[in-house]
Amino acid sequence: MKKLILFLTIALFTTGGVFAQQRQRATPEERAKRQTETLVKELGLNDDQKTKVYDINLKYAKAFGERNGQVDREKMRAEFQKNQEARTAAIKEVLTKDQQKKFDEHQKKQQDNRRRRN
């Protein structure tokens, strides 16, 4: 009986480690690709716009990944907000007026979803 309990305990901890490894953060390239594909679907970007938006997303995904050991949450939050505003402005420069409206709606929807999760 003790061996069975020991085996089940080891199996439980081993399984937990596997799931923890699967939740690794996406690379900046993966995040940029996912964000770009979402915008392609939502806004109907052409190939030139897609390339430009990917480059913008990648630039800011890399900047977000470089925290340089910061632990001050308020400072990190302010920096993230500044980067998001710059990213939004850069993306809007690539879009047509109609796409800009759709982009604003998309961002509002994303913001509402984040608020609901929190």
pLDDT tens figures, 63-96: 877 665 667 888 888 888 999 999 999 999 999 9
CB 66 within 8 A of CB 58: no
- Please indicate, yes or no, if residue 19 is contained in any of the structural domains: no
How many distinct structural domains can be found in the chain? 1
Domain containing residue 38: 27-117
- Please indicate, yes or no, if residue 22 is contained in any of the structural domains: no
Those residues of the chain that have pLDDT short of 70 are 1-9, 11-12, 14-23, 66-70
Q: How far apart are CA 109 and CA 89, in angstroms?
A: 18
pLDDT at 6: 58
- Please indicate, yes or no, if residue 54 is contained in any of the structural domains: yes
Q: How far apart are CA 88 and CA 90, in angstroms?
A: 5
- Please indicate, yes or no, if residue 47 is contained in any of the structural domains: yes
- Please indicate, yes or no, if residue 40 is contained in any of the structural domains: yes
pLDDT at 22: 54
pLDDT at 15: 61
- pTM here is 0.72
pLDDT at 89: 96
- Please indicate, yes or no, if residue 18 is contained in any of the structural domains: no
- Please indicate, yes or no, if residue 20 is contained in any of the structural domains: no
- Please indicate, yes or no, if residue 10 is contained in any of the structural domains: no
